[in-house]
Amino acid sequence: MTGTRTLLKRLRSQPILRRLCAGFDGVVRDASGATAIEYALIVVFISILAVSWAAYVGTHVVNFFTSVNTSF
């Protein structure tokens, strides 16, 4: 047994810590939400790219129309 496993085994023997560790083990071993989180991160990344691209292009469009307006 590794040192970490020995420590965890000793901590789990405590009544309060046993309940906390049992709840934590269930959360750690449940990977059903991992795919949803990955998709959410992809959506966030694409949204950030879209907003930054729109801000960049928007300033160039404004500058273009401003120069067209001043040329009249």
* 72 and 42 fall within a common domain: yes
Contacts of 62 (CB under 8 A, 6+ apart): none
- Between CA 14 and CA 8 the distance in angstroms is 10
Per-residue pLDDT of the chain (72 residues; tens, 9 = 90+): 566 777 677 666 666 666 666 666 666 666 666 778 888 999 999 999 999 999 889 888 888 999 988 888
Same domain, 18 and 45: no
Can you tell me the distance from the alpha carbon of 53 to that of 16, in angstroms, rounded to the nearest whole number? 52
What is the separation, in whole angstroms, between the first and last Cα of the chain?
Answer: 82
Range of the domain at 64: 33-72
Tell me, yes or no, whether 9 and 21 share the same domain. Answer: yes
- Supply the pTM of this predicted model: 0.46
Number of domains in the chain: 2
Cα gap 31→55, rounded to integer Å: 37
